[in-house]
Structure 1
Amino acid sequence: MTDDLRDEVHAAARRARVAANDLVLATRERKDAALLEMAAALRTRAPEVLDANAKDIEAGRAAGLAEGLIDRLTLTEARIGGVARGLETVAGLPDPIGEVLRGSTLPNGLELRQVRVPMGVVGMVYEARPNVTVDAAGLALKSGNAALLRGSSSAEHSNTALVAILRDALEAVGLPADAVQLLPCHDRASVTHLITARGLVDLVIPRGGAGLIDAVVRQATVPTIETGVGNVHVYVDASADLDMAQRIVLNSKTRRTSVCNAAESLLVHEAVADEFLPRIITALRQADVTIHGDERFAQDPRVVPATDEDWDTEYLSLDLAARVVESLDQAVEHIAEHGSGHTEAIVTDDVRAARTFTARVDAAAVMVNASTAFTDGAEFGMGAEIGISTQKLHARGPMGLAELTSSKWVAWGEGHVRATS
């Protein structure tokens, strides 16, 4: 069975390679036409997707999936419309392929250009979230890559319906359907075969929980980009506007708890703790947030005393760890010890404090007087994102079109030969 599954995954990768070779020559007009066709088809065929998604939700509830995962899994007409709009936005973005990154004409007349090129075959391994299926396919297509999608079994019906629609749209405009393929999802070995298909697959991007990401990064022989677990902090500084701070904390925590940019920890400078703690505890409790607080927070009976584990937990639920700190330095030290390198925010009216925080905090995105919810490819003007990278090589932060490309050097000569030494 394992050999059969490996052969199935590798055969899909070979078909993807053929499709990727065709996409290299596809014009922007053809790729954009495919993206717009995908968006229109998603809207027209939304009932198919919703029916399939209902089966996944029913199975997920029966299996006891946490509500945060159910939320990630759930599609609605509005969410389908959102991913369709994402495809349309991507269609409107400049084509990165062929962009000249740098270049010059050497003294000998040889013309050098470094240009963007597709990665080739990009594998995605992800959990729940069927919207990732569409985002990944759309971004891969626009950047000239073929996508191998390995979603979770919890979203099997949704992903199957979505990929069928996307493949039909590709064929409708004369592009290869194999530019988007869905891999088997019921055996974890399919992940292993994908992430070790060196020579067939050019890049793998894992997107999901810490366990999935760690397993892929450790086991892969194909190059990987580590995407983010989000142990995200909001720090309320001594000079913060407390009305602003309350709005930012509530939005960062409660806007949507199941996403990686949701705040999981709150740090409050002791200089404003007496005034801010009663109001933020009241506001969070009114929003049904359970606060896991240090000794200062836990003086309020509405707060659950925090454990050491709370500082390192990505809750993905209506839970929030909270601590009073003595200084900005202590806030930065806490984030360095417990943060995941995803997004960190400071609320302050002190420009020097903001500059110190943005310089010293080691994260893919740092917000000053803004909600952590803005760490998102669409909000950053990328149309959509294929993930949020928390590593430092090649790509960091929300990954859009440019992050799905590599580069090559092209030299134009007129019979140039190099002198013998």
Structure 2
Amino acid sequence: MTDLNNMGQKAQDAAFELGQLGSKVKNAALLQMANSLVLNTKQIIEANKEDYENAQKNGMKKAMLDRLLLTPDRINDMADSLRQVVDLPDPIGKIDRGWETVSGLDITQERVPLGVIGMIYEARPNVTVDAAGLCFKAGNAVILRGGKEAINSNIALSETLRQALKEVGINSNAVQLIDDVSHETAQKMMELTDYIDVLIPRGSGKFIKMVVDKSKVPIIETGAGNCHIFVDKDADLDKALKIIINAKVQRPSVCNAAEKVVLHKDIANQFLPDLYDALRANSVEVRGDILCRAIVPDIVPATKDDWNTEYDDYIIAIKIVDSLDDAIKHINKYNTKHSEAIITENYSASRKFMKQIDAAVVYTNASTRFTDGQQFGFGAEIGISTQKLHARGPMGANELTTTKYLVQGDGQIRK
């Protein structure tokens, strides 16, 4: 079994060293990491091919295979995301606020690294690069533990990043990968409170719940995405159709894909047949309530469980409601606090929806697929936090910091 205590100690030592590095040094290292990914594309793709073929043999569904697959374009995108991280402001040393107290103490609140971050995730090799780059930018060491389905890809990617750090004279233990994918090692990682400051899980809702339930290390909960799009009675229906197809079909396996559509009854008869045809033309199975099936009998009956389900697949469920208030009530009952959208030309309806929906990101007239660190201008993301403490929504380098107070005195004592 992997010696996690040893890895943890190495990560702590590396984190201390990273905390002393200036922005220029960190950015030069990130550029080296980006260039190394491109130079090692062939080796990375060969490793990924082995994972992909194994996953196919084991019956992984199409949408999940897409998550696993690496191509030259996707590796270039990973490298570009690291270059974008370089261009972002360094959060370390940023002063959030400062003031002088009545006793003459000069207090500043300054951004500092979290320390050692643990990433535990499923078959998404891009997380290896995003997590390493963002953690490094924010002065943190990272211990990575990906799923067994992507183990060869993750080894190739992490070794490429570690070698790039060595080449610029930086402690390569700033990025470490646990190559033992057993459940026992995962559980031990979740108990590594002496070394890991925060653990961030990424994957399915079931996977994240397992980590939250079992971890003794503090968690930033990310990513389960039962995302809805509500088509209001005042919607532009051409716009609505385009947005829904994009949100469901572009990459159905990701957490910001639309899983549910809610329709106002006043536009359901006109809009639902066109929506159904467009979804079926894109190989999406359409499930719906009894009102939907009265309009389009070929729709598959939705069960009670459908409203809670994150499919991560070419499946969508549709519900018809009487009003905006009913849509808000339904979405708040079943959503996972991730991303929700309203399609409407009515400003008042838009503002009410955006104010009353409880989610990390709420849209008007846009696809939920934009909930992404790169799309938000963060270069990459460590995950999309669906909780309310510490961080919420797409998490970039700034969200991988905490603060400390620096207090300058001149001999003051408390009376």
Normalising to structure 1: TM-score of the pair? 0.97
**Residue aligning to 1:304:** 300
Task: Kindly indicate whether residue 286 of structure 2 is the aligned counterpart of residue 321 of structure 1.
Answer: no
CA contact (8 A) 1:10 1:194 kept: no
Corresponding residue to 2:47 among 52, 75, 86: 52
Corresponding residue to 2:388 among 373, 392, 397: 392
**Residue aligning to 2:123:** 128
Pairing 1:378-417 to 2, within 5 Å after superposition: 378-417=374-413
**Residue aligning to 2:360:** 364
Cα displacement (A) at 1:107: 3.4
CA contact (8 A) 1:253 1:262 kept: yes
Could you give the per-residue CA deviations for residues 211-255 of structure 1, whole angstroms, max 9, x where no partner exists?
221111111111101112110000000110111111111111111
**Residue aligning to 2:181:** 186
| Counterpart residue type for residue 246 of structure 2 | N
The CA distance in 1 between the partners of 2:328 and 2:157, in whole Å, is 43
Query: Please, which moves more after superposition, 59-68 or 230-239?
Result: 59-68
**Residue aligning to 1:164:** 159
* Identical columns (%): 46
Corresponding residue to 2:276 among 274, 281, 284: 281
The CA distance in 2 between the partners of 1:191 and 1:66, in whole Å, is 24
**Residue aligning to 1:268:** 263
Corresponding residue to 2:146 among 147, 151, 163: 151
The CA distance in 2 between the partners of 1:186 and 1:108, in whole Å, is 55
Pairing 1:165-314 to 2, within 5 Å after superposition: 165-299=160-294, 300-314=296-310
Cα displacement (A) at 1:355: 1.0
Could you give the per-residue CA deviations for residues 302-321 of structure 1, whole angstroms, max 9, x where no partner exists?
31111112111111111100
The CA distance in 2 between the partners of 1:207 and 1:326, in whole Å, is 36
Question: Secondary structure, in 3 states, of the residue corresponding to 1:349?
Answer: coil
The CA distance in 1 between the partners of 2:39 and 2:192, in whole Å, is 36
The CA distance in 2 between the partners of 1:289 and 1:27, in whole Å, is 49
The CA distance in 2 between the partners of 1:111 and 1:332, in whole Å, is 47
CA contact (8 A) 1:228 1:390 kept: yes
Query: Please, which moves more after superposition, 227-236 or 213-222?
Result: 213-222
The CA distance in 2 between the partners of 1:288 and 1:186, in whole Å, is 34
Query: Please, which moves more after superposition, 284-293 or 258-267?
Result: 284-293
Gaps of 5+ in 2: none
| Counterpart residue type for residue 373 of structure 2 | G
Query: Please, which moves more after superposition, 305-314 or 27-36?
Result: 305-314
Corresponding residue to 1:342 among 338, 342, 354: 338
Cα displacement (A) at 1:415: 2.5
Could you give the per-residue CA deviations for residues 136-155 of structure 1, whole angstroms, max 9, x where no partner exists?
00000000000000001110
Pairing 1:12-91 to 2, within 5 Å after superposition: 12-91=7-86
CA contact (8 A) 2:205 2:310 kept: no
CA contact (8 A) 1:184 1:190 kept: no
| Counterpart residue type for residue 292 of structure 1 | R
| Counterpart residue type for residue 348 of structure 1 | T
Q: Number of matched residues? A: 414
CA contact (8 A) 1:151 1:185 kept: no
The CA distance in 2 between the partners of 1:404 and 1:186, in whole Å, is 25
Cα displacement (A) at 1:109: 2.8
| Counterpart residue type for residue 298 of structure 1 | R
Distance 1:235 1:185, change over 3 A: farther
Cα displacement (A) at 1:106: 2.2
CA contact (8 A) 2:63 2:251 kept: no
CA contact (8 A) 2:191 2:217 kept: yes
Cα displacement (A) at 1:359: 1.1
The root-mean-square deviation of aligned C-alpha atoms, in Å, is 1.0
Normalising to structure 2: TM-score of the pair? 0.98
Cα displacement (A) at 1:108: 3.3
The CA distance in 2 between the partners of 1:295 and 1:378, in whole Å, is 39
Moved over 4 A (4+): none
| Counterpart residue type for residue 87 of structure 1 | L
CA contact (8 A) 1:152 1:185 kept: no
The CA distance in 1 between the partners of 2:69 and 2:365, in whole Å, is 31
The CA distance in 2 between the partners of 1:154 and 1:277, in whole Å, is 38
Cα displacement (A) at 1:292: 0.2
Cα displacement (A) at 1:296: 2.2
Cα displacement (A) at 1:414: 2.2
Question: Secondary structure, in 3 states, of the residue corresponding to 1:296?
Answer: helix
Could you give the per-residue CA deviations for residues 56-90 of structure 1, whole angstroms, max 9, x where no partner exists?
00111111112222111110111111111000000
Pairing 1:96-135 to 2, within 5 Å after superposition: 96-135=91-130
